[in-house]
């Protein structure tokens, strides 16, 4: 594949890691051109909720291609977009009354940040400062990077990134709450956070109590609360939204990955009526100035409308609870392994650290594990030495058992020092 002109995402091509050619997928399985069946244990980067090529979603896409492929989304609308917006307002918290479409997790975050600052500017009481949680990830566009963790991933672009306030991850909840309180009292415009699980930051998990308290502090000071549920939404953490477990409703809600069941790119930013009101006027200067060419693409919306129908008509939360229970059972079998630490789970997501706390060679462990899993036809993509499992909800028992057996054998190899040689 080295003669391919494709420049892959998050890939150091100089390392010449093999790049698999997938020809088809079904459920939790990917089939390669060289005849392998690979278990997709991370839902193709966290998007595939109902499994690959879900028949209902595929049929909805096919049907929409017979009607309308693309439409300018200013001055015109189409039934799939209206259906998605109605469907979302029906199942999401009732205070989130407005639906703005975009194309990816990063862009729905950008939209939320712009809406938050627009809210304050349009009300004539400008507030500028954004507050974020350490180790967060909100996407790879400039604004989304600015509100995310800084590090090797974005050091080269630091001159483009704007300054934000940072509160610590709540390993000590009171320290987080105190820092947030100080930022809000100083007049922060908005606080953006991933509820319950910080995904790309290493599947770091925190409890609903501190989430509820963070929400209350923001409400008290008028600081807008932006919930980035791009990863945690659509059942991942055991409930439709992670925020439900804390009984919170944000001012702005970002949704993408599972919005189409993982079939096509689409995102929404849902906003409260107050944020809509701040932009609603006969004054053109108060318009929410944002668009992208493919905003609310009809085919992507048809997939999202079908995803919403699946949520309404099928026992998705039961499947989620069943997967969560199976994940818990498998996770328990790894407890006490000498090369595994910090076993944790939130809903359908499990995570753990491989290797000893003190091992300096670990910097190379992530790529070594990636290759180890790939050679065994299991798609797992560790974040550093954090191994996590986030499968499609339809994954079968045998496949899930294989995933954990492979993790165990990798941990055995780590314990035996096989990766340090």
Ligand X SMILES: *Cc1c(COP(=O)(O)O)cnc(C)c1O
> For binding to ligand X (CB under 6 A), which residues are involved?
104-106, 109, 137-139, 194, 199-200, 228, 230-231, 256
Which residue number, 122 or 239, has a Cβ lying nearer to ligand X? 239
Q: How far is the CB of 244 from ligand X (least distance, A)?
A: 17
Kind plus residue range of the DSSP H or E element containing 308: helix 298-313
**Measured CA distances, 54 to 4, 27, 51, 65 (Å):** 30, 7, 6, 17
Q: How far is the CB of 160 from ligand X (least distance, A)?
A: 17
Q: How far is the CB of 9 from ligand X (least distance, A)?
A: 9
Q: How far is the CB of 74 from ligand X (least distance, A)?
A: 23
Q: How far is the CB of 103 from ligand X (least distance, A)?
A: 8
Q: Which two tokens stand for residue 208?
A: 């609903």
Which residue number, 122 or 237, has a Cβ lying nearer to ligand X? 237
Which residue number, 107 or 406, has a Cβ lying nearer to ligand X? 107
Q: How far is the CB of 3 from ligand X (least distance, A)?
A: 28
Which residue number, 133 or 387, has a Cβ lying nearer to ligand X? 133
Please, which residues have CB within 8 angstroms of residue 143's CB and are 6 or more apart in sequence? Answer: 109, 110, 113, 114, 162
Q: Determine the Cα–Cα distance for residues 312 and 327; give it in Å rounded to an integer.
A: 25
- State whether residue 76 is helix, strand or coil: coil
- State whether residue 93 is helix, strand or coil: coil
The secondary structure of residue 112, as a DSSP letter, is: H
Which residue number, 92 or 278, has a Cβ lying nearer to ligand X? 92
Residue keyed to tokens 């990830």: 137
Q: How far is the CB of 267 from ligand X (least distance, A)?
A: 7
Q: Provide, for the chain, the percentages of residues in helix, strand and coil under a 3-state DSSP scheme, each rounded to the nearest 5.
A: 40, 15, 40
**Measured CA distances, 240 to 88, 94, 251, 343, 367 (Å):** 11, 14, 17, 23, 33
Which residue number, 138 or 330, has a Cβ lying nearer to ligand X? 138
Which residue number, 341 or 344, has a Cβ lying nearer to ligand X? 344
The 3-state secondary structure of 150-208 reads CCCCCHHHHHHCCCCEEECCCCCHHHHHHHHHHHHHCCCCEEEECCCEECCCCCEECCH
Which residue number, 228 or 399, has a Cβ lying nearer to ligand X? 228
Q: How far is the CB of 199 from ligand X (least distance, A)?
A: 4
Q: Determine the Cα–Cα distance for residues 250 and 96; give it in Å rounded to an integer.
A: 8
Question: Which backbone phi and psi does 246 adopt, to 5 degrees?
Answer: -105, 0
Which residue number, 183 or 228, has a Cβ lying nearer to ligand X? 228
Residue nearest to ligand X (CB): 105
Q: How far is the CB of 317 from ligand X (least distance, A)?
A: 21
**Which DSSP string do the residues of 382-404 spell out, in sequence order?**
-BTTEEEE---TT--HHHHHHHH
- Greatest Cα pair distance, the chain, in angstroms, is 70
CB atoms closer than 10 angstroms to residue 155: 9
Q: Determine the Cα–Cα distance for residues 410 and 154; give it in Å rounded to an integer.
A: 30
Which residue number, 199 or 355, has a Cβ lying nearer to ligand X? 199
Q: How far is the CB of 362 from ligand X (least distance, A)?
A: 24
């Amino acid at each position: 594949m080295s003669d391919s002109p494709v420049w892959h995402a998050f890939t150091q091509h100089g390392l010449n890691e093999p790049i698999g050619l997938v020809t088809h997928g079904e459920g939790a399985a990917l089939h390669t051109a060289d005849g392998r069946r690979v278990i997709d244990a991370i839902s193709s980067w966290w998007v595939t909720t109902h499994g690959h090529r879900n028949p209902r979603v595929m049929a909805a896409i096919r049907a929409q291609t017979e009607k309308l492929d693309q439409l300018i989304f200013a001055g015109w609308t189409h039934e799939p977009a209206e259906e998605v917006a109605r469907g979302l307002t029906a199942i999401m918290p009732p205070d989130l009354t407005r639906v703005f479409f975009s194309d990816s997790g990063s862009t729905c975050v950008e939209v939320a940040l712009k809406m938050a600052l627009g809210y304050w500017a349009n009300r004539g009481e400008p507030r500028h400062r954004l507050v974020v949680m350490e180790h967060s990830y909100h996407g790879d566009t400039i604004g989304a990077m600015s509100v995310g963790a800084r590090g090797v991933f974005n050091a080269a672009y630091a001159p483009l990134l704007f300054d934000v306030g940072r509160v610590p991850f709540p390993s000590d909840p009171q320290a987080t709450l105190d820092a947030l309180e100080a930022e809000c009292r100083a007049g922060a415009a908005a606080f953006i956070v991933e509820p319950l699980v910080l995904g790309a930051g290493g599947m770091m998990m925190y409890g609903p109590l501190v989430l509820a308290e963070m929400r209350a502090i923001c409400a008290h000071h008028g600081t807008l609360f932006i919930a980035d549920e791009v990863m945690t939404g659509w059942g991942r953490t055991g409930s439709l939204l992670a925020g439900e477990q804390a009984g919170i409703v944000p001012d702005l809600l970002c949704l993408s990955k599972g919005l189409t069941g993982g079939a096509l790119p689409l995102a929404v930013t849902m906003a409260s009526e107050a944020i809509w009101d701040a932009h609603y006027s006969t004054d053109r200067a108060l318009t929410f100035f944002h668009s992208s060419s493919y905003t609310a693409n009809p085919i992507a919306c048809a997939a999202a409308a079908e995803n919403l129908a699946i949520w309404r008509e099928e026992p998705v939360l039961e499947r989620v609870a069943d997967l969560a229970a199976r994940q818990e059972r498998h996770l328990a079998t790894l407890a006490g392994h000498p090369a595994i630490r910090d076993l944790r789970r939130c809903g359908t997501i499990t995570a753990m650290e491989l290797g000893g706390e003190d091992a300096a060679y670990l910097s190379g462990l992530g790529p070594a594990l990636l290759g180890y899993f790939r050679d065994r036809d299991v798609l797992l993509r560790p974040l550093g030495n954090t191994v996590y499992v986030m499968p499609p909800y339809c994954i079968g028992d045998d496949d899930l058992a294989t995933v954990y057996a492979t993790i165990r054998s990798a941990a055995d190899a780590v314990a035996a020092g096989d990766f340090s040689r």
